[in-house]
Every structure is written in C-alpha cells, then in structure tokens.
C-alpha cells in the first residue's frame, strides 16, 4: 500500500485551549483507520482540521503528496476527500435522491445534474436506500438519516471518506448493517478514516487504530496492540479484561 494522507505535527489552539497538540499519523490507500478516545479528546476537531474546516496553527497535511494544509473544504472535496457529520443534517425540504445528488454535483468530478442523479441512485443502491429515493429526507428514521449522510458523502466520489460516529444511536441490527456498508466501501477501493465509540465494531473494522487523549496522540497500532495498551486502558477503555472481548467478531 502507498500513503494517501500524511498528517505531520498538527496543532490547533482555541484561545487558551490547546485542542490538538502535535498530532501525526498516516492513512494508506485501501486502509480503514480508526480514531478513538474519550469525549473531548479532539477527535472531531482533528477531522475538521483534515478537511479544512479549521486552520492549523502549525503542522502539515499532505493528500496524495499534495499539500492541503489550511485549504478550504470545497477545495479538499474536489481532490477526493469527503466526510459525514456526527449530527446528521439532511436537507429536509428535499427528497432522499435530491440530497445525494447535491453531494454528487459538488464532489470530486463536478458532475452535471443528470449524471449526478445517476451517480446518486447508484450510491443509494449501495447503502440500501434506493426504495426511499423519492421520499422526503425528513421522513427517514435515525438509521436512515445516518445512511443518507454516508450516501451524500459517497456521492462526492471520494478517495478518502471520513466517518464521524455513523454507528451512534443505532440498534445492534442497524449497527451490523452499517458495518457491512463500510466494509463494502473499502472493498470498492475507498479508504476510510472513522471516529467511533462502538468499540467492538471499530476494533473489528479497522486495520489500525489511533487513540487521542486531551488533544494528543496517546497510542497508534494494530487493534490488538491498542486494546492491550495500559495507557489506553487507563485513559479510555477502563477495564483491563475488555481487550479480548473487543476483538471478537462484531
């Protein structure tokens, strides 16, 4: 595998708060990288740095070798990096298909309306929402809105997809369905960078895990390494006996 995203020494301060401090990591082509840590650790802030919502005080971000440090989100998405949001916000006055068409129109390929609708339908098939294409986005369940959020980001045809807690609020059946969607995304050749608190799921989905705590990288490694790391157990997992349970098949 070759490196798709390289983040080196990024730091961001909000007034007197150092939200992210000297964080470095990489994502390889075809990889799923998990990002975990306690609430307030800086995970979503790091996402916002990577996709250009926040400008860093120092550090560098390379995407396919190109410097994207502090470039705005509309530039970054055209290079092939798209994301979901932790709090889903569908365009409620539009249909499911129209929501996803928006993602295709403003994505990597600058698709016109007709090809964007075709691309949107293909994505809706992938996430299991094709039968709801003409319904109002506001009528979807939480699980449906999570899928719609993923579909809209996928319609941008990313090379790297950032998923911010797409399993939150789902029941076990819905979690398993979303896991299969994420695996399918990776199988299609798209790399994934995901934040998640459903530990068993992220440990089984991810090739590697990065752990943040108080804005700093606490650990990085294979899921089995991270789950047995004493610092990670103390700072986040809490139970030294939980590691083997997390690595059971989700």
Residue 177 inside a domain? The answer is no
Q: Compute the distance between CA of residue 169 and CA of residue 104 in angstroms, rounded to an integer.
A: 27
How far, in Å, CA of 160 to CA of 29, rounded? 8
Instruction: Provide the number of structural domains found in the chain.
Output: 1
Q: How far is CA 20 from CA 26, 60, 63, 92, 234, in A?
A: 16, 13, 20, 34, 20
96-105 vs 113-127: helix axis angle to the nearest 10?
A: 120
Residue 30 forms part of a structural domain: yes
Tens digit of pLDDT at every position of the chain (250 positions): 699 999 999 999 999 999 999 999 999 999 999 999 999 999 999 999 999 999 999 999 999 999 999 999 999 999 999 999 999 989 999 999 999 999 999 999 989 999 999 999 999 999 999 999 999 999 999 999 999 999 999 999 999 999 999 999 999 999 999 999 999 999 999 999 999 999 999 999 999 999 999 999 999 999 999 988 999 988 887 766 666 667 675 4
What range does the domain containing 229 cover?
1-72+192-250
Domain assignment of residue 135, yes or no: no
> CATH number of the domain that 41 lies in?
3.40.50.300
Within-domain flag for 134: no
Q: Is residue 215 part of a domain?
A: yes
Predicted pLDDT of residue 220: 97
Query: Is there a domain that residue 88 lies in?
Result: no
- CA 165 to chain CA centroid, Å, is 7
CA triple 66-208-54, angle to 5 deg: 45
127 belongs to a structural domain: no
- pLDDT at residue 250, as a whole number: 47
């Amino acid at each position: 595998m070759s490196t798709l995203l390289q983040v080196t020494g990024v730091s961001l301060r909000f007034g007197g708060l150092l939200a992210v401090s000297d964080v470095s990591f990489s994502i390889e082509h075809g990889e799923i990288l998990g990002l975990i840590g306690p609430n307030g650790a800086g995970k979503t802030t790091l996402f916002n740095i990577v996709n250009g919502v926040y400008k860093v005080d120092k550090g560098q971000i390379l995407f396919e070798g190109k410097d994207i440090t502090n470039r705005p989100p509309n530039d970054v998405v055209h290079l092939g990096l798209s994301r979901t949001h932790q709090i889903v916000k569908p365009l409620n006055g539009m249909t499911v298909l129209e929501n996803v068409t928006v993602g295709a129109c403003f994505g990597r390929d600058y698709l016109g309306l007709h090809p964007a609708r075709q691309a949107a339908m293909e994505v809706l098939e992938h996430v299991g929402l094709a039968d709801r294409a003409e319904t109002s986005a506001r009528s979807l369940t939480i699980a449906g809105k999570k899928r719609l959020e993923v579909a809209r980001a996928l319609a941008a045809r990313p090379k790297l997809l950032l998923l911010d807690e797409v399993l939150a609020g789902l029941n076990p059946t819905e979690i398993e369905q979303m896991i299969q969607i994420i695996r399918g995304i990776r199988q299609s050749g798209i790399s994934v960078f995901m934040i998640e608190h459903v530990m068993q799921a992220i440990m089984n989905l991810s090739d590697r895990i990065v752990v943040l705590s108080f804005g700093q990288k606490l650990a990085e490694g294979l899921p089995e390494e991270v789950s047995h790391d004493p610092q990670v157990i103390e700072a986040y997992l809490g139970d030294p006996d939980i590691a083997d349970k997390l690595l059971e098949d989700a």
